[in-house]
Amino acid sequence: MQIQSSARIEAGLDKVWDLLQDIPRVATCMPGAEITETVDDHTWKAKVGVKVGPLSIGYNATITRQSLDVANHSATMQVEAVDSKGRGTVSASIVRTAVANGDGTDIDVLADANISGVVAQFGQGALKEIAGRMLKIFAGNVAQAVNTPA
């Protein structure tokens, strides 16, 4: 399933891009996400909590940055996650791009995700809506974080 979403951040491209490259710091901007371990300079372990309809699901995830294109402000990551209760998995390739737009920055996220288990029962429409809402919250948190010292 492909999930695509965009958001505007009221901060300059350089500030936003610097934050987006710092995975442990930017993870704090994602609702329900927490980096638990830095494996190396391109791999992290995380816990991610997601609410889908009436379900609250916790995932143990591995995030791997596969590529970083500084000139084009783009990064590709692979996320492999397992429900902590064994009820499903998520595997996603995520491309994140930042583009200057006036005084702000537009971020675009394209995820190609394979979702199995209990969450998959909600269908693509519901999952895309939830992902869009999460990106809006993420963008607001990024806007706040770029103006806060690391």
Q: What is the mean pLDDT of each run of 10 residues along the chain (150 residues)?
A: 87 93 90 94 94 86 95 95 92 94 92 86 78 80 81
Confidence (pLDDT) at 103: 92
Q: Where are the domains of the chain?
A: 2-143
Helices (H) and strands (E) in the chain — how many of each?
Answer: 3, 7
How far apart, in Å, are the Cα atoms of 24 and each of 17, 111, 135? Answer: 14, 20, 17
Backbone CA torsion sign across 29, 31, 33, 34: positive
**CA separation for the pair 91, 82 (Å, rounded):** 9
Confidence (pLDDT) at 140: 83
Confidence (pLDDT) at 150: 61
What's the pTM?
A: 0.86
Length of the chain: 150
Packing angle, helices 123-145 and 13-21, rounded to 10: 110
Residue 84 neighbours by CB under 8 Å, 6+ apart: 47, 58, 59, 60
State in words which class domain 2-143 has.
alpha beta
| Residue 46, strand partner residues | 35, 61
Confidence (pLDDT) at 73: 97
**CA separation for the pair 128, 23 (Å, rounded):** 23
Structure token pair of residue 109: 């996220």
User: How buried is 17 (Cβ within 10 angstroms: 0-12 exposed, 13-18 middle, 19+ buried)?
Assistant: buried
